[in-house]
């Protein structure tokens, strides 16, 4: 028996969360071992660790509580990585030295695996006078370009590129340049952009009033508020950015508005944070808590929910003490406020199991009721922790109870906080859960609707063959297990068929009981009118949302996951949107096994000015009658070469053992340029010793028939192909190459491998 509800869940666990040795040997033998590792690590700070380890393990078991990926992959590993998902960096000073000190801090944070947010409103506008050097300022966007270039060079923990959020106030003189920055598809690709919209600006938009653009007390020019709003709307209509953050609402509702001011968020927007603020994330899997799904007695177990929330709050509070931080300022900020972000996933699946149509008034009311129960349980659990361990250091009873969120909290919760304090300043947030939702059996992500009921995933096997497997939404799979091939009921709706207004309704219902914010994408049809599109944002503002992010397929960002008509459509869909086939190669199911004996060849490389030759041994494996490279050994008596030859040996061998088209290794090595100079070898110029090694690997691949010839492609190994080229499709995944990228909760996320730009 396996705990995994789908093959893709096991693949995600193996690739992203399973603890392994440096050479890929598994340490976590089973997913139960992963749960045990996390539970033990987070119980270590308790006075009774054995007791709490069992409680924590029970919460994790069967994917009921899903800590965010950083915790799942990093807790209990002994590795120097942060368990916090997101950070907002310090306030950027308006001087060159301070700006580049902030750049350094950003690099150090992303190096440990954290997504970061910055408010660039503090940098003087382009053309402003810089008296110290008698010059004009280049403006915040020029420095954002520097941040963007830095982010491209930093590979964060977990093999993900860093993700960044940039915000700018709606009254900054460079706001129009900020709004239009993403019209250049090559610019600021490592950033998500959002405009900080004030209540005063929204009132000016409604009144069609004037709006001053100012910095440092100086008004640079005045525009019409409605014209500026229309520019924001046109930009996001055309290329999906910038998003909108209702910043005054965020600060007014903040439990900590007495001791902090927020002007930025993490990359996906669900965590508005102060300077050096950090937050850890986790999600209650609502789909796992429904009893009698699709039956007459279908219900979510309230007692189980309360118990699970209490365990989750305690686990996440312990992460504050167990985690490392890239910067000391981040550690101090986290310890002073002990902020956590407990959210949900599988919400849409849970609603389906209860017979509720996502986006209906009944579903919105049920969502609000569930989120209120989670908020109450979380706050009361934090009060109990305060009784046992003390409240967060900056707790001020009267100021805390007077904040916007707490004024709306039930009186018994307020009374408990007044008497005992509270351990965590903020407790709830709904974060992106694309990858962990796949890991949990392809449950619906966060509070998003089901994106597609099923799609086909292609997996490259050890022998070079490809298999297809159907990836089915968790609720649909449960329906099939109960009713076989019976037609899906009318209340089954998905992201493509849902009206934008229904998306907003669900976000607003959840926001009433979420004390941070929500990462949610409002999918809009490509043919939505501009006026209707603007109404989506106004509806979000009027119904109490803290921000709004939309996605409309367009030429700049591409379409969402390709869809086609399906014969399996439910009655409420007029043909359920289903993915078209994309790239044939997704990724290996697991590395190739090594036979006891392999055939190979050894090559001698004598590099000029080197006292010793380098010997390259390439061993091959035969699959389906075809010979292909399997491993490499690079050796030299020159000890100056030792570290990099060992590293190259391990890395190239690891790539070869994954199968598929590995010819790119040759091209990457041949392109390496040594600034000290290359060498002439056999009548041609070779730019570096690494390029020479690449040339030897290429000649070996040609000799065994793996490559057609020098600089050419594969000879006999299957090549990646794309079918149905005329069908619209999204961009290819940078991790696995499939065309299954979709916009979920503000992140482009791959349905095949779980890759997400935002982590």
Residues taking part in catalysis: 266, 268, 270
The residue written with tokens 């709003």 in the block is 229
Cα–Cα distance, 51 to 63 (Å, whole number): 20
Cα–Cα distance, 178 to 244 (Å, whole number): 13
DSSP string, 640-706: GGHHHHHHHHHHHHHHHTT-S--THHHHHHHT---TT--EEETTEEE--HHHHHHHHHHHHHHHTTS
- Tokens encoding 569: 């459509």
Cα–Cα distance, 284 to 64 (Å, whole number): 6
Map residue 187 onto helix, strand or coil.
coil
- DSSP-based helix, strand, coil % in the chain, nearest 5: 40, 20, 40
Cα–Cα distance, 169 to 120 (Å, whole number): 8
Q: Is residue 715 packed enough to be buried (19+ CB in 10 Å), middle (13-18) or exposed (0-12)?
A: middle
> Which stretches does DSSP call E strand in 382-537?
454-460, 466-472, 522-523
Q: What is the 3-state secondary structure (H, E, C) of 502-530?
A: HHHHHHHHHHCCCCCCECCCEECCCCCCH
Map residue 143 onto helix, strand or coil.
helix
**Is residue 368 within 8 Å of 506, Cβ to Cβ?**
no
Cα–Cα distance, 143 to 141 (Å, whole number): 5
Cα–Cα distance, 459 to 464 (Å, whole number): 10
**Is residue 158 within 8 Å of 73, Cβ to Cβ?**
yes
Q: What is the 3-state secondary structure (H, E, C) of 571-589?
A: CCCCCCCECCCCECCCCEC
DSSP 8-state assignment for residue 639 = G
Backbone angles phi, psi at 212, to 5 degrees: -85, 135
DSSP string, 219-287: EEEEEEHHHHHHHHHHHHHHHS--EEEEHHHHHHH-TTTTT----EE-TTSS-EE-TT-EEEEEEEEGG
Strand 522-523 and strand 550-551: pairing? parallel
Cα–Cα distance, 376 to 382 (Å, whole number): 10
Residues 6+ apart with CB under 8 A from 280: 68, 70, 71, 83, 84, 85, 316, 319, 320, 323, 340, 341
Cα–Cα distance, 503 to 567 (Å, whole number): 26
Strand partners, 283: 66, 343
The residue written with tokens 């906080």 in the block is 417
Element (H, E) at 604: strand 599-605
**Is residue 594 within 8 Å of 734, Cβ to Cβ?**
no
DSSP string, 542-554: HTT-SEE-EE--B
The residue written with tokens 């250049």 in the block is 184
Cα–Cα distance, 154 to 106 (Å, whole number): 10
Strand partners, 470: 456
Cα–Cα distance, 542 to 547 (Å, whole number): 11
**Is residue 521 within 8 Å of 448, Cβ to Cβ?**
yes
């Amino acid at each position: 028996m396996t705990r995994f509800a789908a093959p893709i869940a096991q693949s995600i666990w193996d690739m992203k969360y399973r603890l392994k040795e440096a050479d890929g040997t598994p340490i976590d033998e089973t997913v139960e071992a992963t749960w045990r590792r996390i539970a033990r690590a987070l119980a270590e700070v308790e006075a009774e660790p054995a007791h709490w380890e069992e409680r924590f393990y029970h919460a994790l078991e069967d994917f009921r509580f899903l800590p965010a990926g950083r915790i799942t992959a990093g807790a209990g590993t002994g590795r120097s990585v942060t368990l916090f998902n997101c950070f907002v960096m310090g306030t950027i000073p308006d001087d060159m030295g301070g700006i580049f000190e902030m750049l350094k801090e950003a690099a150090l944070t992303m190096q440990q695996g954290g997504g970061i947010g910055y408010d660039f409103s503090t940098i003087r506008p382009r053309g402003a006078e810089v008296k110290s050097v008698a010059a004009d300022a280049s403006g915040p966007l020029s420095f954002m370009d520097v941040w963007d270039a830095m982010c491209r060079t930093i590979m964060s923990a977990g093999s993900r590129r860093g993700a960044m959020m940039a915000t700018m106030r709606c009254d900054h003189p460079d706001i129009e340049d900020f709004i239009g920055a993403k019209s250049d598809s090559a610019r600021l690709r490592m950033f998500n952009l959002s405009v900080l919209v004030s209540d005063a600006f929204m009132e000016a938009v409604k009144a069609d009033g004037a709006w001053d653009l100012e910095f440092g007390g100086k008004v640079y020019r005045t525009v019409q508020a409605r014209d500026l709003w229309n520019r924001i709307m046109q930009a996001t209509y055309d290329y999906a950015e910038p998003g909108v953050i209702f910043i005054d609402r965020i600060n007014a509702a903040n439990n900590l508005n007495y001791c902090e001011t927020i002007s930025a968020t993490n990359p996906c927007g669900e965590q508005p944070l102060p300077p050096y603020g950090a937050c850890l994330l986790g999600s209650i899997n609502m789909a796992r808590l429904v009893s009698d799904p699709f039956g007459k007695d279908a219900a979510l177990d309230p007692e189980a929910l309360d118990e699970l929330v209490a365990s989750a709050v305690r686990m996440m509070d312990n992460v504050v003490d167990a985690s490392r931080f890239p910067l000391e300022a981040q550690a101090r900020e986290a310890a002073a406020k002990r902020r956590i972000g407990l959210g949900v996933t599988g919400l849409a699946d849970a609603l389906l199991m209860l017979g509720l149509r996502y986006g209906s008034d009944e579903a919105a009311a049920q969502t609000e009721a569930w989120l209120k129960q989670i908020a109450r349980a979380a706050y009361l659990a934090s009060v109990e922790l305060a009784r046992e361990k003390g409240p967060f250091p900056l707790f001020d009873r009267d100021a805390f109870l007077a904040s916007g969120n707490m004024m709306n909290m039930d009186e018994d919760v307020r009374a408990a906080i007044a008497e005992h304090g509270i351990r965590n300043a903020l407790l709830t947030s709904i974060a992106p859960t694309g990858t962990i939702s796949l890991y949990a059996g392809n449950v619906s992500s966060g509070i998003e609707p089901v994106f597609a009921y099923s799609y086909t995933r292609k997996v490259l096997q050890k022998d070079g063959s490809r298999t297809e497997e159907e990836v089915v939404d968790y609720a649909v799979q449960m329906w099939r297990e109960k009713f076989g091939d019976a037609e899906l009921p009318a209340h089954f709706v998905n992201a493509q068929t849902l009206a934008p207004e229904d998306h907003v309704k669900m976000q607003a219902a959840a926001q009433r009981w979420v004390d941070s914010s929500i990462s949610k994408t409002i999918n809009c049809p490509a043919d939505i009118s501009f006026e209707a599109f603007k109404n989506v944002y106004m509806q979000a503002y009027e119904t109490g949302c803290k921000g709004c992010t939309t996605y409309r397929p367009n030429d700049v960002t591409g379409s969402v996951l390709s869809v086609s008509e399906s014969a399996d459509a439910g009655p409420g869909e007029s043909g359920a949107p289903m993915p078209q086939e994309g790239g044939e190669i997704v990724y290996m199911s697991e590395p190739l096994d090594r036979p006891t004996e392999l055939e190979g060849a050894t090559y001698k490389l004598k590099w000029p000015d080197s006292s010793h030759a380098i010997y390259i041994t390439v061993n091959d494996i035969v699959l389906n009658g075809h010979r292909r490279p399997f491993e490499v050994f690079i050796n030299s008596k020159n000890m100056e070469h030792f570290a990099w030859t060992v590293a190259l040996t391990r890395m190239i061998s690891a790539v070869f053992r994954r199968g598929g088209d590995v010819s790119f290794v040759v091209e990457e090595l041949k392109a390496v340029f040594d600034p000290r100079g290359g060498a002439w070898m056999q009548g041609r110029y070779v730019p570096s010793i690494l390029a020479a090694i690449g040339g030897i690997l290429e000649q070996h691949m040609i000799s065994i028939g793996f490559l057609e010839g020098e600089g050419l492609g594969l000879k006999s190994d299957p090549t990646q192909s794309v079918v149905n080229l005329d069908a619209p499709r999204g961009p290819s995944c940078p991790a696995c190459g499939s065309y299954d990228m979709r916009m979920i909760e503000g992140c482009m996320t791959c349905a095949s491998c779980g890759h997400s730009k935002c982590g």
